[in-house]
Amino acid sequence: MRPTIRGSDVFVKEDLRAIIDSLDIAARHQPSGCWRDGWLAATNAVRTAIGIDVEQLEIVTVHEITEYRHERIEQRRPAPPAEPAPRFVIRGEREAWPAPAQPSTTSIQSTMATPANMTGDDVNITLFNTETGRLVAREVGYGWIGNDGYTAFWNASDWQQVHADEARAMGHLVPDNWLVLMRHAYANSMRRQLAATNRRLLR
């Protein structure tokens, strides 16, 4: 008895090619990796074994030139107006009294007015411009003799003279060549504050 083969059971090359192409399509839908590469290698081996030419993928090289353009826009605004120069704030400055009448050629009159007692004033610091007068120190206190004839007096029991640098360290604005008088209680309080601040900084 001889085996027989029906015509419907015989696969021609075109049928095999279609089957292998379907397998390749399924393989190409898989993620890139060893498994996909092995599958495609196996189908190529089957093609070679049955004499089906292995189709090479068509590689098309596209050369594109992309133009790069860079634009820079600068907006210039006018400079802000300059701030006014800082001005000194003078505390305890006294308005000068009107200058007395100048002495006549026939009689010599004193241009010194009666000293104003400023001991009980309500300020803690007084500044003196040495260009408009002079400050004198005596055992009983301090006297101001203005160039315009104005005079004033501060009792030493309540007031003391403080160096301008020390007054600046306390936070006061003292112009150059100006003199400073302070009340004892106020000066001592400010010195205690400065000493406490310096101790904290040294820690």
Lowest mean pLDDT among 54-58, 107-111, 169-173: 107-111
Confidence of residue 87 (pLDDT cuts 50, 70, 90): low
Establish if 77 belongs to a structural domain: no
**Residue 49 Cα to chain centre, angstroms:** 78
Establish if 139 belongs to a structural domain: yes
**How many domains in the chain?**
2
| Residues of the domain holding 38 | 12-50
Establish if 177 belongs to a structural domain: yes
Q: What is the pTM of this model?
A: 0.43
Lowest mean pLDDT among 65-69, 88-92, 148-152, 192-196: 88-92
Of residues 184 and 24, which shows the higher confidence score? Answer: 184
CA-to-CA distance for 159 and 157, rounded, in angstroms?
6
Residue 148 structure tokens: 């315009």
Query: pLDDT value at position 14?
Result: 79
